[in-house]
Structure 1
Amino acid sequence: MENLQSHGIHIPLFPIFLCLLQFSSFQFISLADDLPEKYFINCGSNANVNYTRRTFTGDTNTGYVTKGDHGSAATDRNQSVDGSSLYKTARIFKQQSWYEFEIDTSGPQLVRLHFLAFTSTTTDDLSTAIFDVSASEFLLLHNFTAKNNKSSPLIKEFFLSINFPKLRIHFTPQGSSFAFINAIEVFLSPTSFYNNGTTNSLSYPFLQTIYRVNVGGQAIKPDEDTVWRNWDQDDIYLSNPSNAKNSLFYSAKPNYVGNMSDFIAPDLVYQTAKVIDNNNSSESNNSNATWSFNVNKTASHVVRVHFCDTVSKSLDTVCFTLYINDNASLIVNSIDFVDQLAAPFFVDFSVEPDGSGILNVSIGTLSNSTDKRAYLNGLEILQVKEGFASVPVENNSKKINVAVIIGSVAGGLAVISILVIGFLFVLKRRKSKPVETYDGSPVPVFGAGSSHSRLTESTIHGSPVPDLHLGLKISFPEIQFATNNFDPRLLIGKGGFGSVYRGTLPNGKQVAVKRGARESGQGLPEFQTEIMVLSKIRHRHLVSLIGYCDERFEMILVYEYMEKGTLRDHLYNSNLPRLSWKQRLEICIGAANGLTYLHRGAAGGIIHRDVKSTNILLDQNLVAKVADFGLSKSGPQDETHVSTSVKGTLGYLDPEYFRCQQLTEKSDVYSFGVVLLEVLCARLPIDNSLPREQMNLVEWGLYCKKKGVLEEIIDPSLRGQIDSNSLRKFSDIAEKCLQEDGADRPTMSDVIWDLEYALQLQQTATRREPHEDTTTGSSALILPDVQRFPSLSTTTIDRDDILMFTNDFSSTTGDEIFSQLRVNDAR
């Protein structure tokens, strides 16, 4: 079917997100052929306006009119906009105000905001307005101004996952400025981002439309689209116009099959295309057509690519390649998606940020294809938004109500009485239980969020959490202060669980703040597990948890900050100094010590379950620490296995665990073996850009070792560094870890000893005379392959446990273990 090829670290997730959808709570709903009827609001007017096949209702006489400050109506003094009067009125707010809408059906709501900065008859120049817009807890626009939109309207479109009976859209002026809005649309999203039987869209709670392009055709206006979308003409984004030509298909209607319909894209998108035709070309037939877009360089994006094969004479003849950012490619053949010609289909990609601020989409013909053509019909790019707004304080009452005052006083007295009783109860308990920790964190003053703790359900042991204060709770205001209210400029990583921000505590110490995504219930078990595991372990080679916050439905973890980022960063990022072989061995030894402590140390019987190069972090001295314990499992050390559903990361998964769903510590050993090969070869565990026999690093690495050509696939930057005996010992360790049968794999403490021996071999070779060659092909002194005595295993663990309470922490304050997580694909 499809052949996805990946290049680099940030891999679009089309072929593997099928496995991830089980974690998704953002389900999109098809509206079939029913057009939405509400809400369409004409702001600042009491008149209804017919515009693009729908009626916008004047907001003055409606039940969802603005709350708080009702604002003032404004009318365009110059009547400068031709066409509808929708943009000739606006609602102006001098203070924080909001619209309120009843939400009949929970799910993704499409919200469109219309702005036109005219000069009003009340002397307000709307182009000077600076304000924020939020919807529920989503921050839609920050420090927004429409000063460049005086002649044509600016429309901002968002998809929000709303599960509340009401949706409130707040307008908050900045400083002494004001806010305004011309029109608002709110309705349940139609068939955007849904499962149509061939592809599944990634689910996010908060998306903003950045680009929507009709490829090969004219711009499409809202009245030509089923749900009133704007589609740009593609030529302004096309980098090499001569490589592709417009193609028109004037059939009455595309052949919609399955769940496809014109709600996904209008007929006009599928009736036009850009086509590359190299059938009669004397060139090498590798010319591509590329569309380039400016995007937020720190944000993830969802790219939807639309196809409709109107160029083939029969099925299974035109086959070509689609590229996203040169990081991934997909072999496109319409027969893999639909069973007839002229039938629309689409493919979704999740594209991680690469720091360039440019997103490229390309198509190219295949030299081995019978029909050397390629086509593209449409493109949509949506930004995955991360901004969340504090719920504004809502004070609807403008009159002093005596009954309310009396009720408030009575209620206050009741609360004080309850607090006194509670205080006496706590004192009584403390006398009998002096070690109890009390959490004195204040309830945040930011308004209507719930401060109910989410950590009251279950732990990794499956029992209720007995006490999660643990001296680790941090209030939400403290975290907001540390991260400058989650300033996007402090974003240092993101993943399925949420985003990671660099933060600074009042004492100047840097921390890493991992904020869980706002999908209802998403990640809660991982959040609980991480706290329970990290709260009871301290080790030099395990990332320290500084604190957590579970207020207002937040899931926030605060870690020590790891200045050098992830191990993977240093293996693949060409902008970072290359790690020497000695450094790599020391990092592997450190990570193995951390895992050994989890398995057999004072922590006792914890299986990490997601060992990979992005979960091995490096501090400023390149000391390795294992991170991310959200998938960890705990159990008695004498238990042979834990039966559980399979979780982990493709490429690192233990095949025995995958087959039997029985988890043991040897599953971590297998994953660590993959990391060892990754360290040696500096390549991804799964790389679809390589020939089939080389795609899987484990299979290819073990094959090369068996053939005696392992040195040919090591990281080129290591050639000339590795002693042949050290390489032989290291590869033997990796091979042992990667045995199919878990019983044949070593323990992590055995792995430590073997790695230390490989390091000793390397150091012995390095201390030889300077003129001697130490490459893998040198005639190094062959040392015996010393077998480890069983008693040494216990010695290593005991020694490491002792170090944990002496060398690692004897001179370290609680604040000094405060720093972490600069990861690009943290969960």
Structure 2
Amino acid sequence: MEKRHFREIPYSFSSLLFLLHFLSLQLPSSAYTRPEEYFISCGSDTNISSAGRTFTGDSSSGISLSFTFKGQSSTVKDSNRSTKTPSLYQTARLFRENSFYEFEISTSGTYLLRLHFFAFSSPDNLSAAHFDVSASGFSLLKNFTLQTSSSIPLIEEFFLSISIGKFSLNFMPQGSSSFAFVNALEVFLAPEDFIPNDAPHISRAGRSSNNSYEGIRSEALQTIHRINVGGSNLTPDNDTLWRYWVPDDSYLYNPVTAKNSTFHPDRPNYLEGINEYIAPDLVYQTAKEMNIDGNRTSNTFNVSWSFNVSKNARHFVRVHFCDIISQSLGVLRFNLFIFSNYSILIDPYDKTGQLAAPFYIDFVVDSDDSGLVNFSIGPRADSDEKTAFLNGLEILQIVGESGSVSRKHEPNKTPIFIVVGSVIGGIGLSCILAVVICLCLRCRKPKTVENWEWSPRPVRRGGSSQNRMPEGSVIGSRVPDLNLGLKISFAEIQFATNNFDVKMIVGKGGFGLVFRGTLRNGMKVAVKRSEPGSGQGLSEFQTEIMVLSKIRHRHLVSLIGYCDEMSEMILVYEFMEKGALRDHLYNLALPSLSWTQRLEICIGAAKGLHYLHRGAAGGFIHRDVKSTNILLDEELVAKVADFGLSRLGPPDQTHVSTGVKGTFGYLDPDYFRTQQLTEKSDVYSFGVVLLEVLCARPAINTLLPREQVNLAEWGIICKNKGTLEQIVDPSIKSQINLSSLRKFAEIAEKCLQECSADRPPMGDVQWYLEYALQLQQTGIEREPHEDSATDASAMLALPNIQRFASFSMSAEKDDMPILREDSANIWASEVFSQLRIDDAR
């Protein structure tokens, strides 16, 4: 729903990029008046009034109709005639073959097309209808059917550019026994320039394409979301173009960050001069603004909304603003974020020159394979008022270019000499291109793993929704050939998992199902198989392979191989017999871990993360450290897992610019506020894990009193009050040496510091944990005021570890990074027959 690192477009460039676009903010022609046609009540023999419109019955006798319909059709009426069902939805026209309505268009321009559907009770069972709808060469609805559980009408709304002449709206039943139907139609001219022809283009995940998207009017737009932010439901009775607007509350990412604001009557009359057709005045009279109250220590947070959209599709987005919260002019400036990496300065006074005056901004936004589009607003340091607001939002999917549905046309007669000339020219051009390609291939140098920059491959969409990838398949491999020797055939994985037997399922995560498997040589493995609609996709799949193919450590889960055949995304790991740390903390069916075991597990995980940060090739930041991603083997040795969100972050780099991702309860607040990722973000998440280990409770528990919901906040409060012992897991209370507990709490507190710069590096966390273990094993008791970290005698009792001020690493054999270009290849026939794997355990 993608936030938090943003990149401002330089003023010199943005002034050129948005100048023409903002000129489109001037209001459409005030000469526009609401049209009286075409509004049709399908299957009805009478006219029906609804929200200021008169729907003409298409079965009316004695009335000269300005439209016709062609094809085999019949009328059907609601057999119940319920008084609760509006008259407009008590009749329908039913088509059993390809049929169409034909309208006479007298004015060219952008038109609104609305299709009304309601499956009322009838012998024909309208819920069983299965059909397509097309118009002006656009496929508007594909394989459409109405859900039987729908108790309210469904309205599909489109914007189309229609020229003078005849306009056909086609209904095409799918299957010999199926049919199509429609209850009502609206086809009417929209205000002039209501839809711009170009707008700034934001590509996937919020990366600006640095140019405008042109030709919007030549494409069809389908309304997906129309949101009245901070307000209530608005019906056609409240809207001059008979639109529906819904509240935003269900789309808020974190509802406590925002509050509703309303227009004050004593403000200037901002409605003077506003065009009523862009949005109702009720949209501009309400807003969501940042919820800044006495319980917040700062207002450096964002308010975010997340919307479901089609995957890998293009969308026209209109964002509405009206400053109804400022008390004076020019005091409020804030940022609007789209996805993770794109932001734009919103300066209400700069746009309108007056207080409480509405304006809007248009964009074209590409969605990624997550099926979500996220919008956020946040304060700016250079603003007098540190707040932000939003009034309305519209998201319309761009259906495609005209001609996506074939039209009937006469074949063009082309002179034979043109055909011959084109063929000869084409052959010559092909030869030249072939020579150029060969020269490029001969000159190109092979890339190695270390200097190769990872980027997702484009996915070609299409095909049945029953495929493993619901929107299509990848042409070729999903992962470029890295010469890693890690590819495993799909047949091999089927054998290992007994064809993905449900009895072999051992877990389920954001990526998909996890199966237990056994290779041909008896080696046990864990198999993660993606599934349609999963929270993670191709990018995470590729990242996991990239990270795990470059690292090896005793406390990091090893990648055995992967499979990307037949639209599959499968990862194969070493099998961790004891499962996730979380299970051993909360599952009462499993034996409780002792305090010593918990300390050893934390030390192991810290070693793995420390190696990931500083010892791995290039250095990585995990970005999703939590108790479910710390796995235990048969000997309870901890290993960090799930690297799908990891990012490359060299030790000499202060931060990585990236969208905020992670898990609530574990998410670094400094990362969330600044959108700057560092290894200290992992340190914060690990601090939450430490409290989980100590208290055996989830990071977030909404069933508890408000001050106890967030474990990190509650743990720090208890430590400061000196009541930490009261929230310790009862099963280990009697085991813990008080000095060990104090040191452990001190470590957790250091990890959970608000500012990332105040947190220790993971190497120091590891050292402190080993010291806490030493205190537990030696039984040394210390007074609370003593600084055990500087006690010389205690230092001598620790294992032989070199410790530096900001960097430390245990000298273990498995800590050494793998340099794949120089390392020897190891034949692994005992793992897979005829499969070569480099350095995989």
Larger Rg: 2
Q: Report the TM-score when normalising by structure 2.
A: 0.47
Q: Report the TM-score when normalising by structure 1.
A: 0.47
